[in-house]
Copies of this chain bind each other. A is one copy, B any other.
């Protein structure tokens, strides 16, 4: 079979029995064709689904009408957490007829190659940058490339790029403050990837808030498997924690299962907190106390800022509402 082609001006010309030039005049509202021909050309164009090509519009200086999102995590982690689909659904809610280009890559080098290609080929008008590292190589590279970009992350790592962020330090203080007020004096944190800046920020805020208490931080890859192992190790120590704060929902559920397997009732013997919140947190028993934020709204805000930037709007750092603690059945006073 021959490759399939989309409808072109040549197709319209052939069906209408006129020249391609005449079709072009007719479609562009220029003089040079009769009104009868123009009407016939427009009817045929509508019938066969012709539209001005992206190519023609781009050469005439129009925008790509697309923004890009590159996710640099192993594919198998993507299904583990609802974060990215929620962020994407928020981004899309703002895009209208603008499209989202999505790509997963194995490392930052490959990610930068994608940006160079997309920008060089006129495929995207801008990109949203996620999972920032400390001293992230992508920030200076994007600045140099001149590709409009919005960082979903703290302004301290965004360089001169626009950032959209929420105050994780305040959210961490509120959460640990609540556990301390309940009477907990031995608190552990089962954190995500230590290379990610938001992990670093939460680590520091946790250590600061728990400076006068016994506290532990264990890093994981966000999987339930590593969350379970970290919990088992923490609960096996002689002076075990009475409360554990996890960096996602599935690790918290894994921790709940480990507590059950080790005969420690939740919340009587062990309090658990999930960050972020999710539907999963509400269907398990007990339902999980969680640090909640509106991730779709976060994505929508980032998309709005990027579209404004593409139109020549000012860069800057824009703070969204901080996450807030939602107490449910998995936290109480320590025994």
Interface residues of chain A, those whose CB is within 8 Å of chain B, are 1-7, 49-59, 64, 66, 75-76, 78-80, 82-86, 88-90, 92-93, 95, 97, 99-104, 116-123, 145-148, 223-225, 227-228, 250, 253-254, 257, 260-261, 278-280, 282-285, 295-296, 309-314
Q: Closest approach, in angstroms, between the C-beta of A247 and any C-beta of chain B? A: 15
Interface contact B104-A89, CB-CB below 8 Å? yes
- Residue of B6, B97, B260, B261 near A122 (CB, 8 A) is B6
Interface contact A310-B92, CB-CB below 8 Å? no
Q: Of all chain B residues, which has the CB nearest A113?
A: B97
Interface contact B123-A253, CB-CB below 8 Å? no
- Residue of B56, B75, B82, B121 near A93 (CB, 8 A) is B75
Interface contact A49-B121, CB-CB below 8 Å? no
- Residue of B57, B85, B257 near A78 (CB, 8 A) is B85
Interface contact B79-A89, CB-CB below 8 Å? yes
Interface contact B279-A223, CB-CB below 8 Å? yes
Known contacts A100-B102, A285-B257; A51/B3 CB under 8 A: no
Interface contact A313-B56, CB-CB below 8 Å? no
Q: Closest approach, in angstroms, between the C-beta of A9 and any C-beta of chain B? A: 11
Residue from A6, A95, A103 with most neighbouring chain B CB atoms (10 Å): A6
**Which B residues lie within 8 Å of A295 (CB)?**
79
Residue from A57, A99, A102 with most neighbouring chain B CB atoms (10 Å): A99
A84 to B79, CA, bound (A): 8
Known contacts A3-B312, A88-B102; A224/B283 CB under 8 A: yes
A50 to B58, CA, bound (A): 15
Interface contact B280-A121, CB-CB below 8 Å? no
26 CB-based A-B contacts, threshold 8 Å: A1-B312, A1-B313, A49-B120, A51-B121, A53-B59, A54-B64, A55-B56, A55-B57, A55-B122, A59-B59, A66-B101, A66-B123, A76-B296, A79-B82, A79-B278, A84-B85, A88-B102, A88-B104, A99-B101, A99-B103, A100-B102, A101-B102, A224-B279, A225-B279, A261-B285, A280-B280
* For the complex of A and B, 9 pairs with smallest distance between CB atoms: A51-B120, A79-B82, A75-B89, A55-B58, A224-B283, A254-B283, A54-B121, A55-B55, A79-B86
**Which B residues lie within 8 Å of A283 (CB)?**
224-225, 227-228, 250, 253-254, 257
- Known contacts A7-B120, A55-B57, A92-B103; can you find 8 more A-B pairs with CB under 8 A? A1-B312, A4-B312, A53-B121, A54-B55, A57-B121, A78-B88, A99-B118, A260-B285
